[in-house]
Amino acid sequence: MKPEGLIAAEDVLLFANAATTSTAQREFHSAADAQHLSLGFLHAYMLGNYRDLYAAALALDINDHNAALIIRRLLESATEATPEQRRSEGRLIARRLTALPPQRVYALFAALRRAKVNNRRTRAIMRDWLTARPDPAFDAVKYRTGVKTALRHAHLRSWEAELGDFLFAPRRRTRYGTPLLETWRRAHYEQAAVYELPFTVAEGFAARHGIARAAFLERIAPRMTRLERLRFQDSARRRGATAVRTGLTRMSLTRLASYVLGLSLDERAGRRAELTAALRAAAHRAARGERGWGRVAAVLDDSFSSYGSGQKRRRPLAVALAAHHLLEALADSYTPLWTSGRSDPLLAFPHGATPLGERILDALETGPDRLLIISDGWDNAPPGLAAEVLRVWRTRLDPDGRVTVVHLNPVYDADDFDVRRLAPTVPTAGIRDAEDLPSLVGLARFATGRTGLPELRAHLDSRITAFLTAPEEAR
């Protein structure tokens, strides 16, 4: 029978894997309903049994969906927390909210309102976040409904006189002193003003004025964010708008990899120099100057299941492609091995079975210091070979652990309430963004069952301290 502390450590790691990988959307091997139910159970289980550790997960590299769920459940159950827990949770919640996209925060506030969560702590957290927003007028225009809901719920309807009128009585004023609010007013009858608004707001006015889509995309391009340019570039090109260009130089590594994989093979080949340079530059930014990983070999899954699903299209493959470039930046020498046997990462696409065992053998023959396996764990060519290779390697050929082997899995397995593992002797961690790879490799050492709760708590405490003290731009 396992010690209680070891069981708790395993539970925390299981939840961390789920909160990193799952967004309750369909995956290749499980439907959205199964993902939703499985993830919901884990949240309820962690909150009921390990409230402190559940809150501490906000300091880890979990995805935004689960961060918002944790915040909501902590605030909903405020009466169950001790005063000390409420203080520590408040600090973690406030800091995590600053890292979430504003639209997700406003959706969270709306969910709290629907759930009738209106305790004093919740209102204070909402007020602090709202008053710290850098451009309230921009939020009022772009997230109008969300801002109105949040202000009402936090009892801040009279936040600012002019903004209050704009949100709750827009016809009260014939002119606004705030330039953006005045632009919004003029856009109702003046087409030129449409192009001075945020893109998502301008779209509605363009439709109202009957502006041709190509002309609108051409003129609104300077107002688009990088992600909006990325999202609408192909649409703009089909409609003949040439001004919409995607800036690749500042995109995050995993998002850039997703963009590259969304291009046709011919376009990738034609833009090889540009795309490869952008991926390598993003990888060096993600590495943040870290090097010295020694000899690294990576087994990268580009089998058919790396397509993901309609909701998470090519996400597992994007993580593998991004990790490939990041490991190239971190390693002194690097050997990539794709499950398909192909050697051109830029032309990767989901295809074929998953011969992980064969590729792991090939990787170990290179004599690496580290072996990383980026895969959903569905070893099927032949089934079980990867587990047997890793068992023999660890128990007979390398019992002292000279080679560090870590499995990083980008897909949550709803049936097992965890990411799928390859072998008991190999630590497995969930991964969503390749940028988190270095910290996840550090966390994975707790997943072998050799360390207990005290060591894991110490690790979490150090992560919390770094999370709460880091400058906002560094997070």
Q: For residues 308 and 291, what is the distance between their CA atoms, to the nearest angstrom?
A: 31
Residue 66: pLDDT above 60? yes
What is the predicted pLDDT for the residue at 475? Answer: 43
pLDDT band at 244 (very low <50, low <70, confident <90, very high): low
Q: Which residues have CB under 8 Å from 204's CB, separation 6+?
A: none
What is the predicted pLDDT for the residue at 300? Answer: 97
What is the predicted pLDDT for the residue at 474? Answer: 47
Domain ranges of the chain: 4-190, 191-247, 254-451
Q: Tell me the per-residue pLDDT of 220-235, one tens digit each, with 9 for 90 and over.
A: 888 888 777 777 765 5
**What one-character-per-residue DSSP string does 28-86 give?**
SSS-HHHHHHHHHHHHHHHHHH-HHHHHHGGGSS--HHHHHHHHHHHHHTGGGS-HHHH
What is the predicted pLDDT for the residue at 3? Answer: 60
Cα angle 161-162-163, degrees, rounded to a multiple of 5: 95
Q: For residues 235 and 237, what is the distance between their CA atoms, to the nearest angstrom?
A: 5
Cα-Cα-Cα-Cα torsion 30, 33, 37, 39, nearest 10 degrees, comes to 60
pLDDT band at 324 (very low <50, low <70, confident <90, very high): very high
**What one-character-per-residue DSSP string does 375-407 give?**
S-S--BTTBTHHHHHHHHIIIII-TT--SEEEE
User: Helices 453-469 and 83-99: crossing angle, nearest 10°?
Assistant: 60
| Contact in structure between 33 and 26 (CB atoms under 8 Å) | no
Q: Which of 82, 77, 157 is nearest to 117 (CA)?
A: 77
| Contact in structure between 475 and 96 (CB atoms under 8 Å) | no
Q: Tell me the per-residue pLDDT of 108-128, one tens digit each, with 9 for 90 and over.
A: 999 999 999 988 899 999 999
Q: For 98-121, give one letter per residue: b (16+ CB within 10 A) or e.
A: eebebeebbbbbbbbbeeebeeeb
Q: Tell me the per-residue pLDDT of 158-202, one tens digit each, with 9 for 90 and over.
A: 566 788 888 888 888 889 999 999 999 999 999 999 999 999 999
What is the predicted pLDDT for the residue at 245? Answer: 57
Mean pLDDT is lowest, of 246-260, 289-303, 307-321, 372-386, for: 246-260
Q: Tell me the per-residue pLDDT of 422-462, one tens digit each, with 9 for 90 and over.
A: 988 888 999 999 999 988 887 776 766 555 678 778 888 88
N- to C-terminal Cα distance for the chain? 40
* Distances, alpha carbon 260 to alpha carbons 241, 255, 272, 318, 320, in Å: 21, 9, 10, 9, 13
Residue 4: pLDDT above 90? no
Architecture of the domain whose range is 254-451:
3-Layer(aba) Sandwich (3.40)
| Contact in structure between 267 and 260 (CB atoms under 8 Å) | no
What value does the mean pLDDT take over residues 246-268? 89
| Contact in structure between 28 and 376 (CB atoms under 8 Å) | yes
Mean pLDDT is lowest, of 19-33, 84-98, 273-287, for: 19-33
* Distances, alpha carbon 84 to alpha carbons 60, 78, 121, in Å: 21, 12, 13
What is the predicted pLDDT for the residue at 288? Answer: 87
> Where does 190-314 have alpha helices with state H?
191-194, 199-209, 213-220, 226-238, 253-262, 265-270, 272-287
What is the predicted pLDDT for the residue at 48? Answer: 94
Sheet containing strand 333-338, strands side by side: 333-338, 295-300, 370-374, 404-409, 428-430
Q: Strand, helix or coil at 361? A: helix
Q: For residues 188 and 32, what is the distance between their CA atoms, to the nearest angstrom?
A: 40
How confident is the prediction for the chain on average, in pLDDT? 89
